Structures are given as structure tokens and as C-alpha cells.
Amino acid sequence: MPGADGGGQGAAPRQAGLTPRRGFTLVEALVVVAVIGVLVAITLPGLSSARDTARTCQCTCQMRTLGMLAASHAEETREMPRSQHSALSHRVQPWGYAFFESLTGAPFRTKDAQWAGVFNGPYRCPLDRRTERWSYGYNVYFELAREETHWRTWRTLSALRSPARTVVFAELNNTTTADHAMAHFWTQFGAPPEIDGDRHRPGTGAAFADGHAESADFASLFDPDTGRDCFNPATAR
């Protein structure tokens, strides 16, 4: 039955001053999504570049630590460290195990969780996504015998003509499983360097005999076309 105001029985009352709410239309939602996509596309390359720069700095710091540990080892034992290339035959620990105590405060015993933390921590470049292979390789020139060099040996720091330009550690490529780089093979037999020359995008990490480290163009460290070889202590300069 109609009311006194003449309105129908089912009419809903309206409150003065209020307007009905309106949600996003499909077109407006798609525009918002597109704008967000553009912003992400603009900012992600910058974030990725900044992240890689930070990782490169971390790698350089880690390699500097390795260079300093090698120099300290040479001063304490009066001999440069050895790698798996010759450590067993001389009854000493390879560099990775020999440095373990300096990094953890305890001598290496077994490959436990603490070892995994070091192997995938200070011994791994943050830009190297592998976990089962060595990230840094020792320059085998420091442990070669005379019959391997066909000239002389470089078992002490004092034997080096240019410690600041002689590479001790470099970044190993994805195909290498050892803890060292057979750098003398590169010139003696024309073997390809087992070094990742672009892990830092661009450049690669290197630690030197004086204890410093840097991210450098691999050609500035080794270039057969120009005769540059900072891995060979006899030619490093």
C-alpha cells in the first residue's frame, strides 16, 4: 500500500550528501598494471647493476684476503702455499685447507658444515653460482719444479721481481674442477686459460703476491698477442 508521501513500498531511502561508490574499470586496472610494469622495467636493470657491483666488491675483498693469507703463509713458512697440484707429494695441505684455520680459528679436520660454509663463502665469488667446484684457483707457477719451468722456481716472495703484478689467485671457469690454474701450459703448449675472464661482467678478479686484489680486464693480465703474462713471475710487470 502506498505511503503517505506517495512513494512505493519497495523504494530504498537515500541519505543526503552521499554518492554511490564506483570501483576501477577493467581498462583502468590494465593501465595501472602497465604503468607498474614500465616502472619495474626501468628500475630492475639499475638494481641488477648495483647488485652485481656489490658482489664484485665482495669478491675483490675475498680475493684480497686470499692474497694476504698467501703472503702470510710465505713469511711464516718461508715458502709459498701449494695447491692440489703438488701438496700431497710434499706432505702439506693444499691452500684451501691450509688457510682454513686462519678463517675459522680451528684447523681443518673434515668436510663438514663449517667447511661448506668456507667453501661456498670466502672461497666463492658471489657471482659464481656453482657450489661444487672451486671458484678461485691458485697460480701453479709458485709450486713448479725446475723440470717443469725449464729454468727456475719461485717458492719464496723474495724470488719475485714484481710482486704487485704477479697473480697468485684468479677466477676459474665453469669447466675446471681443480683448485689451481696450470698457467705455464698456456704458453708452453698453447692450452686455453682455465680462467673466467668475464665473471664480473666485465672483467675478472685477481689477487697478487703483494696481498692486494683487483677486478681487471683479463687481457691486462694475460695476452699472448702482446706477450703480457702476469701469471709467470719471470714476465710479470
Residue 179 lies in a domain: yes
pLDDT at residue 161 in the model: 94
Q: For strand 222-223 and strand 204-208, is the pairing parallel, antiparallel, or unpaired? A: unpaired
* Residue 158: inside a domain: yes
Task: Say if residues 178 and 191 touch (Cβ distance below 8 Å).
Answer: no
Asked if the structure places residue 187 within a domain, the reply is yes
Q: What pLDDT is attached to residue 142?
A: 98
pLDDT confidence bin for 4, thresholds 50/70/90:
very low
The answer to whether residue 17 is domain-embedded is no
Cβ neighbors of 12 (< 8 A, separation 6 or more) are: none
Sequence length of the chain is 237
0.85 cut: is pTM over it? no
| pLDDT for res 29 | 67
In a domain, 93, yes or no: yes
| Domain residue limits at 109 | 37-229
pLDDT in tens, 32-74: 777 776 666 666 565 567 888 899 999 999 999 999 999 999 9
β-strand pairing of 180-181 with 228-229: unpaired
* pLDDT tens profile 196-208: 999 999 999 999 9
**What pLDDT does 25 receive?**
73
Query: What's residue 45's pLDDT?
Result: 61
pLDDT digits (tens, 9 = 90+) for 153-192: 999 999 999 999 999 999 999 999 999 999 999 999 999 9
Q: Does residue 43 sit within a domain?
A: yes
pLDDT for res 14:
53
d(CA 217, CA 214): 10
Structure confidence at residue 99 (pLDDT) = 98
**Could you tell me what percent of the chain has a pLDDT over 90?**
75
β partners of residue 136? 171
**Whole-number pLDDT of residue 50:** 80
26: cell is 577493467
Within-domain flag for 14: no
Residues 132-150 have pLDDT tens digits of 999 999 999 999 999 999 8
**Mean pLDDT for the stretch of residues 96-121:** 97
Please name the helix (run of DSSP H) or strand (run of DSSP E) that holds residue 30, with its range, or none: helix 26-77
Establish if 7 belongs to a structural domain: no
Q: What is the number of domains present in the chain? A: 1
- Residue 192's pLDDT is 97
**Average predicted confidence (pLDDT) for the chain:** 88
Beta bridge partners of 171: 136
Angle 120-54-51 (CA atoms, 0-180°, nearest 5)? Answer: 95
Which pLDDT band holds residue 21 (cuts at 50, 70, 90)? low
